[in-house]
Structure formats: structure tokens, C-alpha cells
Amino acid sequence: MVYLDHAATTAVRPEAVAEMTEEYGRLGNPSSLHGPGRAARRVVEEAREDIAWALGATPHEVVFTGGGTEADNLAVKGLYWARNQADPRRRRILVSAVEHHAVLDPARWMADRQGARYEELPVDGYGTVHPGALREAIERDPDDVALVSVMWANNEVGTVQPVRELAAVAAEYGVPLHTDAVQAVGAVPAGFAVEGLSALTLTGHKLGGPMGAGALVLARGTDPVPVLHGGGQEREVRSGTLMTPLLRGFATAVRLAAAEREEHAKELSALRDELVRAVHKTVPDAVLNGHPEERLPGIAHMSFPGCEGDALLMLLDAQGIACSTGSACSAGVAQPSHVLLAMGAGAETALSSLRFSLGRGSTQADVQALAEAIGPAVERARAARSRRR
């Protein structure tokens, strides 16, 4: 199998597996006061310190969650409720039009069920949110904005957003800004030492840690209303028994990703560029999407005119090559990528795209395998589409 879908999930690092395996052999709830409980608590707090160090945060700012989706929900819902309860005028949620559904869907749910006003920030043809667009949106009525959420880097096309500039604009108006940095941490210089940034989401399984462990980093003074209620384990913000083995593996992966980021990004960027050249050599009219420079090192998102992305995906899968369409599917019916539509692409283009994403373990042999398979696959996909017409 040639695995080119690391943006969906990537392999757990052996170092993380070893530490989780060791931890699974121990007993102890980190909320318990006896010796085993205190030992588990020590592991949790050391994990918190490692993640804080990697992100340029303080340990107190790191709130553990069950993953990125939970962290995004806590940020969007919790910050809205906190702001709206303090001032009922604050009802507007501003999100970029290219957000992951873990942000889009909670924001829309808040509008449907909680009286919020949902508003999307426009992007340019590269998928970039410009600070001026955010300023314009806030200035329409600065007193009614509850929060802003703009992802650090897009999970489909790989465009990296100007988070520092966006956070500065939000800070001018006293509006909290949350960023989903799930794809960015370990790939680009993404961290919490950004003036005006209120909340940041990350998760373990995108950077060599386990599924089921994530975190929401909250600036001091940023106190969302809890979404989960129960034991109040994470400073009354997130209830639930802390998953000690997963957190240890999560922290190990984050620490290693931060330490190795520059060299890893350099290697991935070179391999990604080689992949794009190889595809263009065989399919000259393939279109590379996203920002040409401000992009994640491991993502190449390409449109193939005359093809249906899902058909092309299955043809490659039959050749042992795993990639992604990057589009949402509902009841087995492919939908155009909301990211490409927001970037100004037509529905046909949005349905003709594939995302190839690289990670640790990706090799030139993987690129060569794709280069050999993509041409015949595109020919078959185009021929099948023509026959249906």
C-alpha cells in the first residue's frame, strides 16, 4: 500500500507506542488521591508541560480533550456562551468559509439552536482570509461579535493563514480568536505565543500520536462555558476521566514533532514538489490548488479536469494507492468541496480534485508509484465520464 493520506491520520510513532504500552501496564486514576492516582497525575502533568513547551504556552493554559473535534466544539460553543451571557448583544460568530466541519457545524448549530448569528469570512482564490476582510466584518458592528475562528492551515488545500495578523485585528476590538491548528502543529511554526490569540486546537493523531487525545489551549482569562459536565477534571472546563496512557503518547508525539519540525518540513516540501512535478509530467492539465508559497509542506491538492474525484480515488485505490478527495460525502453521494467553492472554483472542478498528503515514512518510491498510476487512472476516469454523458 502506498499511503498518501497522512492529513487524514498518520502512523503512531514507535516512541509514543512504547510509552503508552508502558503506561497501560499501570493502574491509577489521575483524580485519585492514593499513590497510584498521584503517579498517574504526575504523568498527566508532565504531558501537559511537554505540550505547553512545544507550543510556547504555559501548562495552565493546556486543557486536555478527547480530540480536535471536541476541542473545536468547546471553543466555538463555550466561548460563544461565555461572551453572550456576559453581554447578550454578542451574538455573531465569524468563521472562515474554508473551516473544517468541526468548526463550521458547531457554529451553524449555534445559529440554528442558540440564537447566534453565523457569518462566514470570505477567502481569495488561494483560500486565504485577509486581515482586511476580518476588520470589515467586525466593524459592521463591533459590539455584537462573540468570537472569531480561523484555522491555522487548511486541511484540504494546505493554505496557511496569516493567523498573527488576524489575531492582532481581533485583539483591537477585544474579540477572542480561536484557531484550529490540527494540521499546522508540527508542520509550520504554529504556536500559542501570538498576541491576541485566545484559543488553539490540536490533536494527537495528525502528528504521530494516538487517536482519542487532543487539547484546547486557552489564554489566561479565556474561560469558555463547559460543554461536558461531570467531574470538572480540567479546571472545570472539561469533565471526564483523563486518559493517562493516551496523554503520555500524545505529549511524546508533540514534543518530537516540535523538535524535528524544521528538518521534517524541508524534507516533505521537497518530496511534495517532486510529486507535483511527477503528476504534471503525466497529466499536464492537472491544477495545483492552494497558495503557491504559504502552504503546508506535506499537502498537494490537485484538480483533474474531466474526471470525477471519487472515481479517480477508487481507481488509484485499486492500484494500492490511498489518497483523499478532500470533499464531504453524505449518504454515499459526493458533494463539491466547500473549500474549493469558497475559493471561487466551479462545482465541476470541486468534484474533480484529489488530496495527496505526505508524512513520516513517505518516500520517493511512493511518488514514483503515483506517477506510474495517475496517468492511466485519469484516462479511465475521463473515458467513463464521457460514456455516461
Instruction: Give the percent of the chain with pLDDT over 70.
Output: 98
Task: Examine the residue annotation and report whether 307 is marked as an active-site residue of this protein.
Answer: no
CA distance 95 to 257: 28
* Nearest by Cα to 171 from 120, 222, 217, 124: 222
Instruction: Verify that 347 and 312 share a domain, yes or no.
Output: yes
Instruction: Verify that 44 and 121 share a domain, yes or no.
Output: yes
Instruction: Verify that 23 and 155 share a domain, yes or no.
Output: yes
Q: What are phi and psi of 18, to 5 degrees?
A: -60, -45
Of the pLDDT bands very low, low, confident and very high (cuts 50, 70, 90), residue 333 is: low
Give the pLDDT confidence score for residue 98 in this predicted structure.
98
Give the pLDDT confidence score for residue 327 in this predicted structure.
53
Instruction: Verify that 34 and 164 share a domain, yes or no.
Output: yes
Domain tally, the chain? 2
Give the pLDDT confidence of 232-263 residue by residue, as tens digits: 999 999 999 999 999 999 999 999 999 999 99
Instruction: Verify that 248 and 328 share a domain, yes or no.
Output: no
> Given 234, 256, 278, which residue is the final one in a domain?
256
What DSSP element (H or E) covers 147? Answer: strand 145-149
Among the listed residues 27, 259, 270, 329, the single catalytic one is 329
* Nearest by Cα to 234 from 217, 211, 251: 217
Instruction: Verify that 214 and 327 share a domain, yes or no.
Output: no
> Given 256, 280, 297, which residue is the final one in a domain?
256
Question: With contact defined as beta carbons under 8 Å apart, do 211 and 204 qualify?
Answer: yes
DSSP SS3 for 252? helix
CA distance 133 to 118: 16
Q: What is the CATH number of the domain that holds 339?
A: 3.90.1150.10
Q: Would the pLDDT of 328 be above 70?
A: no
Instruction: Verify that 181 and 293 share a domain, yes or no.
Output: no
Instruction: Verify that 367 and 275 share a domain, yes or no.
Output: yes
Give the pLDDT confidence score for residue 357 in this predicted structure.
98
Instruction: Verify that 45 and 188 share a domain, yes or no.
Output: yes
Q: What is the CATH number of the domain that holds 103?
A: 3.40.640.10
DSSP code string of 200-230: EEEESTTTTS-TT-EEEEE-TT--PPPSS-S
> Given 191, 223, 256, which residue is the final one in a domain?
256
* Nearest by Cα to 18 from 210, 255, 297, 239: 210
Give the pLDDT confidence score for residue 230 in this predicted structure.
95
Of the pLDDT bands very low, low, confident and very high (cuts 50, 70, 90), residue 385 is: confident
Q: Would the pLDDT of 388 be above 90?
A: no
Instruction: Determine the average pLDDT of the residues in 14-30.
Output: 98
Q: Would the pLDDT of 329 be above 60?
A: no
DSSP SS3 for 59? helix
DSSP SS3 for 76? helix
Of the pLDDT bands very low, low, confident and very high (cuts 50, 70, 90), residue 387 is: confident
Instruction: Determine the average pLDDT of the residues in 177-199.
Output: 96
Give the pLDDT confidence of 23-53 residue by residue, as tens digits: 999 999 999 999 999 999 999 999 999 999 9
CA distance 335 to 323: 17
Question: With contact defined as beta carbons under 8 Å apart, do 213 and 246 qualify?
Answer: yes
Instruction: List beta partners, residue 153.
Output: 160
State the residue range of the domain holding 351. 2-8+261-388
CA distance 38 to 138: 47
Give the pLDDT confidence of 114-140 residue by residue, as tens digits: 999 999 999 999 999 999 999 999 999
* Sequence-ordered list of residues with C-beta below 8 angstroms from that of 326, at least 6 positions apart, any chain: 155, 156, 157, 301, 309, 337, 339, 353, 354, 355
Give the pLDDT confidence of 287-313 residue by residue, as tens digits: 999 999 999 999 999 999 999 999 999
Instruction: Verify that 168 and 271 share a domain, yes or no.
Output: no
pTM value is 0.96
Give the pLDDT confidence of 52-109 residue by residue, as tens digits: 999 999 999 999 999 999 999 999 999 999 999 999 999 999 999 999 999 999 999 9
How many C-beta neighbours within 10 Å does residue 281 have?
A: 12
* Nearest by Cα to 111 from 121, 123, 120: 120
Give the pLDDT confidence score for residue 326 in this predicted structure.
74
CA distance 195 to 185: 18
Give the pLDDT confidence score for residue 389 in this predicted structure.
63
Give the pLDDT confidence score for residue 330 in this predicted structure.
43
Instruction: Verify that 75 and 197 share a domain, yes or no.
Output: yes
User: What mean pLDDT value characterizes the chain?
Assistant: 96
